[in-house]
Every structure is written in C-alpha cells, then in structure tokens.
Amino acid sequence: MNILHAIQARFRAALAGLVPDPEPFVAMIKPTQDAKYGDYQANCAMSLAKALGKKPRDVAQELVDRLDLANLLEKPEIAGPGFINLRLQSGWLGQQVCAIANDERLGVAIASPAKTYAIDYSSPNVAKPLHVGHLRSTIIGDALTRLLRFLGHTVITDNHLGDWGTQFGILLYGYKNLLNKDAYAKEPVRELARIYVEVRNRIAQAGGGDDEEEARHPIADVCRAETAKLHHGDVENNQLWQEFMPHCLEEIHEVYTKLGILKFNHEHGESFYNPLLPGVVDSLLQANVAEEGDGGAIIIRISKDNVSLVRKRDGAFTYTTSDLATIQYRLEHFKPNAMLYVVDFRQTQHFANLFEAAKRWGVTGVEMTHISFGSVLGREGKPISTRKGDGTELIDLINQAVVRGLEKYEASHAERTAAGHDVPELTDDAKSAIAETVGIGAIKYADLSQNRTSDYKFDYDKMLATEGNTATYMQYAYARNRSIFRKADVDPATLRANPPNVTLDSSFERALALQLLRLEEALLSAVAEYQPSAITAYLWDVAKAFSGFFQNCPVIQAETDALKQSRLLLCDLTARVLKQCLGLLGINVVERM
C-alpha cells in the first residue's frame, strides 16, 4: 500500500488533457508537515497556473473539480495562493489497515521491475584491526543491502579488501625492520597494527605535517619499493602477504559477526584483481583513454589540471587501476543495473574521476554512485585518525556499548521496581542478550539516524537515551507494545488471521493508522537518496503516533470488545512495523525490557 501513489494516480487522471506531461506536477504532492492542513498537500496549482496562464486558485479549483474522490479522499480544501489540502477518508484508512493485517510484507509491494545492485562497502585495509572509522561504511552498506533486498531487488555485496596497496608496503617494511617477534606470535594483528602506526609516525614526524615532504622521506621510498616488489611477484613479500591474510580476515569477521553484519557475497581484495591490471592499462591505452605522462607513467587526463594515475613510473599500479578492473569484472560477472560505493567523503574526487574514466572506457547503461558519508568525531569534535594512532578499535567500542546497555537495563529495572511496576526477574543470559541488543542497536541507530553526509559525535549517553529518536526508545516501544498482549492474554496471530473492523474515531487512532500505512513511502524515499535516515525519521513518526495513542486510547480497558480488538490490531501492526524497520537497519528487538 502506497498512499502517495494512490493520490498521485488520482491527480494524474485529473491533469490529463490540461498539460502534455503531468509528472512534474504530480511530483509536487507531499505529506503535510502539520495535521491541521490535512494528510497530504498538492502544491502544483501555482506552477500549473503559469503554464496555463490562469490564476493559481482558479487552477486549484479546476483540479479539485476534476479530481476523483471516491473511496479515498474527503472534499479537498483550497488554501492560500492555491495549496490543495487533502484528507483521506477515515473509513478507507481503516479498510487498508485491515488489508495489511495478515500481510507478511505489511503492505509493501515487490519492486517491478527489480534491479541488480552491486554494493561495495566496509572495504577495510587488512592487517589492521577495524576501527571506529570503518563503522559508517559497514553499517550504511549493510542497511542499504537489507532494504534493497526487502524491496525485491537482487543485491550482490563485495567487501573490496585493501590487501595489496601502499599500506602493505608500510607493513612489509615494518615487519622486516621493527617487528617484536614475541608480540607477533601472541597477537599478530595487534603487532602488525603497532608497526604500521610506528612507520607512519616516523614518516610523519620527519615531514612535519607536510604531505609532499613525507612522500619524499627515505622510509616512504622504501615502503613504495616494497609495494612494487609485491606487485611484481617477489617471493618473500608474497609469502609474508599469504601469512598475514588468514589472521586479518579472522579478526575482521569476528567484528562483523558481533555487529550482526550480513555475510558478504564476495570478498575480492585488490590482490584478486592484480593479474588483470596490465590488461586494463593496455586497454585504456588502445582506447585512447590513457596516455603516457612524465617519466613513463601512464595517466588518464580528466581535465587540464586533473589527472588520474593508472601506472606509476616504477611500474606499480594504483587504486584507480584496481577500481577500473573491479568495474570490468563486476560488469562481466554480476551484470548489475547499478554499482554503489559506500565510501567516505574524502574519496569524492577519486570516484568522480573513476566514473568519468569508466564512461570514456565504454561503460554505459549502468548507474555508478558514490554513497559518501561524513566522519565519526571524537569528544573534542575532530575526526578520529588511525593514521596518527588514536583510532578506537571497533571491537572495544562495541564491547563498551554492551556493558553500558546492561547498565541501562539494570538502572531501568531498579527504577521501575521501586515505582511498584510488575517487572519480571530475568536470567543472566536473558539480561546479556538484552544488553547486547540494546548496546549494539544504539551504536547503529545513532549513526544511521544521521544524514549520512554529516559528521556526528560518538556519544554513548545520547545513543542509549530512552527518550527521543534512539534505538533504545524504539526497542522499548516495541517491548511495551508486546507487554499489552501478554497482559490481555491475546495471541496476535489470531488478530492477523481474522482481522477485526478497525475504528478510527479518535485523532490518535487515525494518526497512528496513517503512519503505519506510510511504510512503503518511507522505504522508497530511503532508496531514492540511499539514505537510511529516512527510515529512522519514519520510525520516529510512528513512535510518536503510538505514544499519543497509548496515552489516550485505552486498549485492554476499551469501552467495548469491538473497540478493544480494533486497538489491539493497531498495536500489533505498530510492533511489526517497528520490528521490520529496525531489522532493515540491522537492529534487533527484545520482547521484554
């Protein structure tokens, strides 16, 4: 069920014959920001008036006169210069609520036509523990994967591991010159992380913050040479690479499991594409996409002052070369309609150049989108930098959130017990499960509720707040909802199997029903901009509507049994919508909190 589409269809018919193309005007129908102006508002009369050479209010009246209201809308109201306020018939809303009661998809249609998406996200550099900077790419990509699959699309996920780039030259140099063998034997990934930071710091200290000076540092030269040796098949460097990889992948997967990240379809690192790189460069040259630059390097000249390097003077290949090989491979093997890259904003120029190079190389008919995002900030408001060695390891951050989740549960339990509420005593295992669900959910929701292009501060207290737009509040709303059925001794499945008539006599019942029926709109909005925050905004609207309903509409003590059944159905649908949307964000719920 998509209310907006239903209204737009009525307006599309009303506009037929008035303008050659109704779609730009149909797109001007939006949900209202204030219920006193109705449920939706058509703002097209003003633009249409210019096209028709008439007064906006006259055009609005003509549209209203041509509009088919039957079984959907009450009589529209024309306001101001020509706004058309639209209010849905309460009887129609009630019928739609009944219609989705026994629908596993809650009224959300399968996409037609379905598409195939290849999504590249997380993509950490190996041989270093995942840090807080990896959080956003990982959970944004995971949420978009869940969302697109729920809508019926095919999604192929690829964790494009950084296992072959410049950072490996740094590790190889550090391993050969700075390794603590005992530490490496006990915790190989930790020791590799230490030597990586140590090498980076030595180069940075010598450069004094000047990137060009750092690049000319002798150690930087040696690191680049180690990378080139690896790329050219040096036996020792390749043996070390093979030794490092299993340890690194095991640690990465441990974090993914803890976070509840879906298993990737592929984890093709840069090394996977290495055999393809010479052919990619040859093809670029043959197609006149690339040319020889200074000193024998091969470049793609995007513009006069914008050049992408695809083969260095020493013969080593670059990220651009590897990414072009990746595009070539994905097109051949995945045959996607769209290729999405969930990578932070600092790579904006790289992806702009990459996509332009791919188009010149002959890649057409496929969407290529860089889904950029801002930084996770520390308490001081500055981006966390692992390059400087101050990055928080992601597993430690997750474990701390779980600890705080347990503290939050214990405090809430004590407070409610002291207030005389009937609070069940749970086992330690049950408490631990709640703590993990609450803690990890808090981290994810706090991130996903942000506009992804914005930075945000990592703050446990705000994340775990039981008021406001947080995962904890949503999880509590779900648990409180489910407690209604336990107290009423009603199995929700019986309501779904034989849904009662839904009564929407009060404004609170009606407001909740309207929000529940807007689920598909919210999900499509999230897909349109690749914005998971559209789902969290919708969840907040649902939670607020349910709160008003809960406080003003007795359920178990409803005046009649018919009204009780109607309100129980609204409660059940609310819980299911909360659970479904949280699940699309990779967040679990608990039956009791």
- Contacts for 349 with CB less than 8 Å, ≥ 6 apart: none
Return the H-helix or E-strand segment holding 367.
strand 367-371
186: exposed, middle or buried (Cβ count in 10 Å: 0-12, 13-18, 19+): exposed
- Contacts for 415 with CB less than 8 Å, ≥ 6 apart: none
Contact present, 149 and 586 (Cβ < 8 Å): no
Model confidence, pTM: 0.91
Joined together, the tokens standing for residue 440 give 């990890």
**Given 3-state DSSP classes, what are the helix, strand and coil percentages for the chain, each rounded to the nearest 5?**
60, 10, 30
Region of residue 420 (left: phi > 0; alpha: psi -120 to 50; beta: else):
left
Fold of 395-584: Isoleucyl-tRNA Synthetase; Domain 1 (1.10.730)
Contact present, 263 and 283 (Cβ < 8 Å): no
Please state which CATH class domain 121-377 belongs to.
alpha beta
Q: What is the DSSP letter of 559?
A: S
- Contacts for 534 with CB less than 8 Å, ≥ 6 apart: 522, 523, 525, 526
Please give the share of the chain, as a percent, with pLDDT higher than 70. Answer: 97
432: exposed, middle or buried (Cβ count in 10 Å: 0-12, 13-18, 19+): middle
User: What is the reported pLDDT for 392?
Assistant: 67
Helix (H, G, I), strand (E, B) or coil at 376: strand
Of the options 3.30.1360.70, 3.40.50.150, 1.10.10.60, 1.10.10.10, the CATH number for the domain spanning 3-88: 3.30.1360.70
User: CA nearest 273: which of 236, 310, 224?
Assistant: 310
170: exposed, middle or buried (Cβ count in 10 Å: 0-12, 13-18, 19+): buried
Contact present, 53 and 60 (Cβ < 8 Å): no
Q: What is the DSSP letter of 560?
A: S
Contact present, 267 and 161 (Cβ < 8 Å): yes
Sign of the torsion angle spanned by Cα atoms 471, 477, 481, 487: positive
C-beta pairs of 456-459 under 8 Å, 24+ apart in sequence:
456/374, 456/376, 456/377, 457/377, 457/378, 457/379, 457/381, 458/132, 458/376, 458/377, 458/378, 458/379, 458/392, 458/397, 459/379
Q: What is the pLDDT of residues 364-390, one digit of tens each?
A: 999 999 999 998 887 777 776 554 444
Contact present, 121 and 73 (Cβ < 8 Å): no
Q: What's 279-336 look like in SS3? A: HHHHHHHHCCCCEECHHHCEEEEEECCEEEEEECCCCCECHHHHHHHHHHHHHHHCCC
User: CA nearest 477: which of 581, 584, 401, 556?
Assistant: 581
Domain boundaries, the chain: 3-88, 121-377, 395-584
Q: How far apart are CA 486 and CA 492, in angstroms?
A: 10
Contact present, 28 and 42 (Cβ < 8 Å): yes
Positions in the chain whose pLDDT score sits under 70: 206-215, 384-392
Contact present, 172 and 226 (Cβ < 8 Å): yes
Q: How far apart are CA 593 and CA 29, in angstroms?
A: 40
User: CA nearest 287: which of 183, 197, 390, 362?
Assistant: 362
Q: How far apart are CA 438 and CA 469, in angstroms?
A: 14
User: What is the reported pLDDT for 93?
Assistant: 96
